[in-house]
Amino acid sequence: MGVFVRRDNINLITNHRRSMGQRQAKQHMQAGVKLYHQRHYAQAINKWRQSLNRLNNAEDRFITLGYLAQALCDQGEYEGMLSYALSQMQLATDQNDSAMKCEAFLNLAKAYERLADFTKALQYGKASLEHPSMDPRTPGYAHLTIALAHLGMSQFQQCLESFESAMNVANETSDRLLELQICVGLGSLFTLLRDITKALIFLRNALAIVQSVTVDDVHAKYRCLILYHLSVALRMKGSLVDAKEACDEASQLAVEMGNRAIHARCMCSLADIYRELGESEAKETITKSWARYEDAYRVMRGANDKMGEVLVLSSMAKSASESRSHYTGQCECQAIQLNKKCIEIANQIGCKHVVLKCHLRLAELYSQLNDDDSEETARRAASRLTQEMQLFCNFCGQRYGLKDESLQALRCSHIFHEKCLHTYLLQRTDQNCPKCRCRAVLSDNISIRSSIASTADVQSPSTSFAPPGGVATPLVSAAAELGDITPQATLTRRPQQDKILRGAEKDIDRVDRSLARLKSQQTTANSCAAIAVPSPEVPSTTTSGASEPVASTSNSLPLNQTTANHKPPPPPRKPCCSQAALPPSSIVALPPAMPLEEGGPLVITHTPTVTDV
C-alpha cells in the first residue's frame, strides 16, 4: 500500500515540476517580448529559443516560432527567418490547424519575398489567402506580401491590384500599420516609375501615420524604412542635401535597430548621393561613393539578399557608366562588365526593370565604342522588356519611367500619363481603358486625392499595431499586456513622445519643402512653355482607334535649362574594345577585361587610381 502512495506522490511531484517548467518557459517567452521592446534583441532571441526548447503546448510553440521569425526578419537574417517559418509550417501540419497554416504560409511568403524568391513568395502568399485566419487583418498582410513580390518581378499591374486588395483590408480593419506599409510600397513603386511627386506624397502619408505610433522600437523600425525610401526619392528629384540628411538618419536608426538589410541599402543610397555630388564637386566624393558600394555589396552577399545585390550592382554599373572620366585606368570594359553582372543576377530573380536599365546603359556604352551590332542587340532587348512590362502610355505612345512625369492608374490597374488620361476622359463619351476595354474609373485606394493615410488624424492613437508575421499574438499587443517596457540605455536614449513628434514633424516638413519646390519648378516650366513658340501637334493613333494629340509632360524643362542640368555626352572615340569586350592588342595602356569572380572584388584595377582608398 505504501508503495502505491509513494508512486502517487512521485507522479504529483513530477506533474507539479512539469507545470512549473511550462510556466517558467512562458515567462521566458514574455520576458523575451519585454527585452525585444527594450532593444535588447540578442537577449530576447535567446529567451525565445530557451522557451522553445521547454514548451510543450503547440500553440505556445507556434507563437514563439512567430516571434523568432519576426525578430530575425527585423534583423535582416532572412534565412533564419525561413527556418523558423518552416518549423511553423511543420507544426501547423502536425496539428492540422487551418488558422496556423494561414499564419505559417504568410511567414513563408514573407521570407521568400525577402530572399528574392518571388515565385515561391507568390505561391505561399496565395496559399495563405486560401486558409481561414484567426485575425481579419492577416489577409491584408498576405496581399501586401504578394504586391511586394510582384513589384520585385516588375509586374506593376498585378502589384497595383494587390496593393488595392491590401488597402481594402486596411480600410475594413482600421489597421494603421498596414496602411503605413502600403504607403511605403506605393512610394517605392512610383519611385521606380519616376512619378516622384506621387512617391513623395505616399511617403509623407506614411510619415503622418508613424507619427501616431507610440511604441518606441516600432516607431523607429518604420521611420527607418520610410526615411530610406524618402532618401531615394529626394535624390532622384535632385534634393541632394535633404536626401543625404534623410539617409544619414535612416542609417543611424538601422544601426540602432540592428537591421543589416536597411543599413546596407542606406550605404548604397548614400553612395548614390555622393555620386551625384561628384559630378560637380571634388573627385574624392567618387572615392567615398565607390567604397560605400563595396561595403554595401559585402553586407548584401553575407545576408544572401539578392535584391540588395542587384540594387548595389545597378548603382555601381551606373556610376561606372556615367563617371568613367573620374576613374583613371578604367574604360568602358569595366562598366560593361558590371552591367552584364547585374543583368545576370537580376535575371535569376526576375527583376526586369533593373535588366531594362542595364540594357539601356549598355546601348549607350556600345554607342561610344561604335559597336553597332552590340548596340542594336541591347536596344532590342530594352524594347522587348518595355513591351513586356507595358511601360508606355496608350494615348501618346510614349514611354514612361524615364523622367519625372505625373502618372495615373485606373481601377483596372493600368497606368497612363495623367495629362493624357484626363484629356481622354474629357473628350470621349465611351470612357473605356484602351488596354483592357474595362470602364475607365480612377483607382480610389491608390489615388493621392483619397488616400486613407490622411494627415487630419495623425494625432489619434493607432487602433492596431500588429506587425505582419505575428498577427495572432503580435509582439506589440503582447508588450502592451506586460506593462512597462521602458528601454534600458543602449545605443541611444529612448525618445520621449515630444521628441518623436518633433522628429516626425521635421520629416514631414522636409517632404513638404520638396513638394513645394517640385510645384514651383512645374509652374516655371509651364510658364516658359507658354511663352515659347508652340509647335504643331502630331497626332498618334491609340489602340482604341482614336487619334489623340501628343501630350507634353507638365514637368518638361525649357531647352536651355535642360542643357544646363545635363552634361553633353562625350565625343565618339575610336573603339578600344572588340565585340567580345576585349581590348585590341594595339591598346596596351588599358587593363584587360577579366570576368568577375564569385567572391572576388567588383572592381579590377592594376594600378593605383583616384578611387583607391
205 and 274 share one domain: yes
- Record the pTM: 0.75
Among 275-279, 378-382, 571-575, the least confident range:
571-575
The pLDDT, as a whole number, for residue 480 is 47
Domain assignment present for 583: no
Asked if residues 133 and 102 have their Cβ atoms less than 8 Å apart, the reply is: yes
Please say if the pLDDT value at position 470 is more than 60.
no
226 and 266 share one domain: yes
Q: Which residues pair with 541 in a beta bridge?
A: 547
Quick: pLDDT tens for 268-295: 999 999 888 765 554 556 677 788 899 9
The pLDDT, as a whole number, for residue 303 is 87
Cα radius of gyration rounded to whole Å, the chain = 27
Provide the mean pLDDT of the chain.
75
The pLDDT, as a whole number, for residue 19 is 58
The pLDDT, as a whole number, for residue 521 is 65
| Distance set, CA 576 to CA 148, 323, 329, 340, 368 (Å) | 42, 17, 13, 18, 10
Query: How many Å apart are CA 194 and CA 208, to the nearest integer?
Result: 23
122 against 576, higher pLDDT: 122
Question: Exposed, middle or buried by CB within 10 Å (0-12, 13-18, 19+), for 568?
Answer: exposed
Domain assignment present for 191: yes
Please say if the pLDDT value at position 447 is more than 90.
no
State the total domains in the chain.
3
Quick: pLDDT tens for 36-76: 888 888 899 998 998 888 888 899 999 999 999 999 999 88
Question: Exposed, middle or buried by CB within 10 Å (0-12, 13-18, 19+), for 497?
Answer: exposed
Domain assignment present for 463: no
Mean pLDDT of all residues in 106-124 = 96
Asked if residues 53 and 23 have their Cβ atoms less than 8 Å apart, the reply is: no
Quick: pLDDT tens for 333-347: 888 999 999 999 999
**For position 404, which CATH number holds?**
3.30.40.10
Mean pLDDT of all residues in 551-574 = 39
Residue numbers of the domain that contains 430: 392-449
Asked if residues 370 and 576 have their Cβ atoms less than 8 Å apart, the reply is: no
pLDDT above 70 coverage of the chain, percent: 65
Query: How sure is the predictor about 581, in pLDDT bands with cuts at 50, 70 and 90?
Result: very low
179 and 271 share one domain: yes
Domain assignment present for 419: yes
385 and 432 share one domain: no
The pLDDT, as a whole number, for residue 86 is 96
**Three-class DSSP category at 405:** coil
The pLDDT, as a whole number, for residue 54 is 86
403 and 384 share one domain: no
Please say if the pLDDT value at position 323 is more than 90.
no
312 and 364 share one domain: yes
Query: How sure is the predictor about 474, in pLDDT bands with cuts at 50, 70 and 90?
Result: very low
Domain assignment present for 528: no
Domain assignment present for 222: yes
Cβ atoms < 10 Å from Cβ of 590: 17
Of 449, 483, 517, the residue at which a domain comes to its end is 449
Domain assignment present for 603: no
> What secondary structure letter does DSSP report for 457?
G
Quick: pLDDT tens for 138-174: 999 999 999 999 999 999 999 999 999 999 999 999 9
Please say if the pLDDT value at position 472 is more than 70.
no
Among 101-115, 366-380, 530-544, the least confident range:
530-544
363 and 439 share one domain: no
Write the single-letter amino acid at 421: L
Domain assignment present for 374: yes
Residue in 213, 224, 151, 212 with CA at minimum distance from that of residue 182: 151
378 and 396 share one domain: no
The pLDDT, as a whole number, for residue 152 is 96
The pLDDT, as a whole number, for residue 428 is 73
> What secondary structure letter does DSSP report for 604?
-
Query: How sure is the predictor about 358, in pLDDT bands with cuts at 50, 70 and 90?
Result: very high
Quick: pLDDT tens for 295-307: 999 999 988 899 9
Answer left, alpha or beta for residue 370, where phi above 0 means left and psi between -120 and 50 means alpha: left
179 and 257 share one domain: yes
Quick: pLDDT tens for 404-441: 888 888 878 888 888 888 888 888 777 777 777 777 67
Torsion of CA 237, 238, 240, 246, to 10 degrees: -10
225 and 313 share one domain: no
Mean pLDDT of all residues in 488-505 = 46
270 and 343 share one domain: no
353 and 436 share one domain: no
**For position 187, which CATH number holds?**
1.25.40.10
Q: Which residues pair with 399 in a beta bridge?
A: 392
